[in-house]
Structure 1
Amino acid sequence: MKWEDIDYHAKEWVKEAGDKIRLSFEKTLNIETKSNPNDLVTNIDKEIEQFFIDKIRGVYPDHKIMGEEGFGDELKSHEGIVWLIDPIDGTMNFIHQQRNFAISIGIYENGIGRIGLIYDVAHNELYNAIRGKGAYLNGKPLPLLKETTVKESIIALNATWVMENHRIDHTLMIPLVRDARGTRSYGTAALEMVFVATGRVDAYLSMRLSPWDFAAGAVIVEELGGIVTNLKGEKLDFLSMDTLFAAKPGLHQQILNDYLKGGKY
């Protein structure tokens, strides 16, 4: 299997999809809700996912596809080569801001991440990695991540998790927020993961994400020496929803040991 060939095709398709999304900025969106009034999907999300599926099936008919909008395959395992696609990660931002959203594609072989591509459409920034070949931003190599500490760190974390909620004991997160240099929230898991990869933030935590939200980012962050697990420090499940914790080396272990241990996630 020539991963460079797959990467080449994926990049071409991502850029073409980005052009389609930019053209949509002038059009009226058809907006629908999914699981709740704030879980939004547009006609563009659906069209872009179908675009990728048509391209993949045309060139790689034996590959499987897991997509957010449900046009892919029903998967019970990650056997073989699987594309995990989020056509627009950060749909609410896309609708309200026309920025702070991304196309996210992770390509896995038997459960191992081989290729990750995240395209920040509004800023024309393509982040990509091939396992063992480094990670890049618009073709320029990204440096390996360096160790840091909580007190020196900016943590990407949604404010919801520091308020009383039904998913976790919110008091667990308060000491982390208090001790960190600062916190940020961007509303798009894909971009928050590449912000970890580029050092714009030092760690990213989320309580509930789907595989297509973190599949691409995990490849990119790990290629640069970052650590990606769930909040228990366990390997991620790429078939179902899970918590997510991506961080620089050293910092990941410090947060896990000093702040997250004993929590129920």
Structure 2
Amino acid sequence: MTPAELELRYYAVLGLVGEASRMALDYFNRNDSLGVTMKGAQDWLTIADGAVESFLRERLSTLFPTDAVIGEEGGGEASDAVWIIDPIDGTANFARNDRNWCISIGFLLNGRPEIGVIAAPALEELYCARRGQGATMNGQTIAVSGGGEIGRACIELGWSTRIPVQNYLAMVERGYTAGAAVRRAGSGALGICHVANGRTDAYAELHINAWDVAAGLLIASEAGAAVNDFFAGDGISTGNPVLCCTPALAAELEAITGIVSQRDIR
């Protein structure tokens, strides 16, 4: 794929995420219209999830018919060129009228993230990155905190029902024991963005799906974060652990989480 073809995809998705944001925000502001259901324990679904994903699938398939599309709600199969979409990341927050949710769109070429766009319309924030070109929030360059003292660090540890709760609680305990402040805000994609812009020093989760991180890991890596090799093996189809942190804390975060990081995303 030529640089011009990648650039076309980048600017196309910026336009699409703007339209998708307006659609999602309209649902969010009419909370009684969400038609909330549950896919499983603490696994929320709203009408907005399906509507936003359908819109993005249709437009991307029309614009780039040779690209594959994978979405949280509709699934899909990977190919050499694939879009990976989470229409609403942080659906539980969305359904409860909490503003901490986002739309995440990542583009991978030959298994490597090339484009990452995350919109948090209720927070009026737009995160963007292209491989080798840095990361921005609302058009301004962002960078990780650079903090190197675990006793002053703020880390977010995501929780998944796919992992035994004892494993999660043990990781949280190791975080507190090391001296870090630990939080959980309910959106993995935004948690990774908050590492990218220095609001927190790390995000980790013992299992997370590709649609939650396909855009965010590129954004964080381009902002200077150390990240793990999430897309190794069957990461796209079955998920993997994720670790994203300011590099000076990588060794201590690896000890807390058991997840090995690297400086650059592959």
Q: Where does 1:105-184 land on structure 2 (aligned, <5 Å)?
A: 105-143=105-143, 146-158=146-158, 165-166=164-165, 168=167, 170-184=169-183
Secondary structure in structure 2 of the residue aligned to 1:238: helix
Q: Where does 1:1-265 land on structure 2 (aligned, <5 Å)?
A: 1=2, 2=4, 3-24=6-27, 25-26=29-30, 28-34=33-39, 36-70=40-74, 72-73=75-76, 75=77, 78-143=78-143, 146-158=146-158, 165-166=164-165, 168=167, 170-229=169-228, 235=232, 237-256=235-254, 258-261=255-258
Rounded Cα–Cα distance in structure 1 between residues aligned with 2:160 and 2:47: 28
Q: Quote how far apart the aligned CAs of 1:253 are.
A: 2.1
The alpha-carbon distance between structure 1 residues 146 and 80, as it changes in their structure 2 partners (threshold 3 A), is same
Secondary structure in structure 2 of the residue aligned to 1:19: helix
Rounded Cα–Cα distance in structure 2 between residues aligned with 1:167 and 1:228: 24
Cα deviation, 1:115-151, whole Å, max 9, x if unaligned, reads: 1111111022100000001101111111365252311
Find the counterpart in structure 1 of residue 264 from structure 2.
none
Count of residues paired in the alignment: 253
> Aligned AA for 1:259?
I
The alpha-carbon distance between structure 1 residues 260 and 51, as it changes in their structure 2 partners (threshold 3 A), is closer
Gaps in structure 2 of 5+ consecutive residues = 261-266
TM-score normalised to the size of structure 2?
0.87
Q: Is the 8 A contact 1:154 1:180 kept in 2?
A: no
Q: Quote how far apart the aligned CAs of 1:181 are.
A: 3.8
Rounded Cα–Cα distance in structure 2 between residues aligned with 1:79 and 1:154: 37
The alpha-carbon distance between structure 1 residues 206 and 172, as it changes in their structure 2 partners (threshold 3 A), is closer
Find the counterpart in structure 1 of residue 263 from structure 2.
none
RMSD, aligned CA = 2.5
> Aligned AA for 2:36?
I
Secondary structure in structure 2 of the residue aligned to 1:157: strand
Q: Is the 8 A contact 2:116 2:216 kept in 1?
A: yes
Cα deviation, 1:47-73, whole Å, max 9, x if unaligned, reads: 100000111011100000110001x52
The alpha-carbon distance between structure 1 residues 180 and 199, as it changes in their structure 2 partners (threshold 3 A), is farther
Q: Quote how far apart the aligned CAs of 1:261 are.
A: 4.6
The percentage of counterpart residues that share the same residue type is: 30
Secondary structure in structure 1 of the residue aligned to 2:236: coil
Rounded Cα–Cα distance in structure 2 between residues aligned with 1:216 and 1:193: 9
Q: 1 or 2, which has the higher helix percentage? A: 2
Cα deviation, 1:86-105, whole Å, max 9, x if unaligned, reads: 00000000010241000001
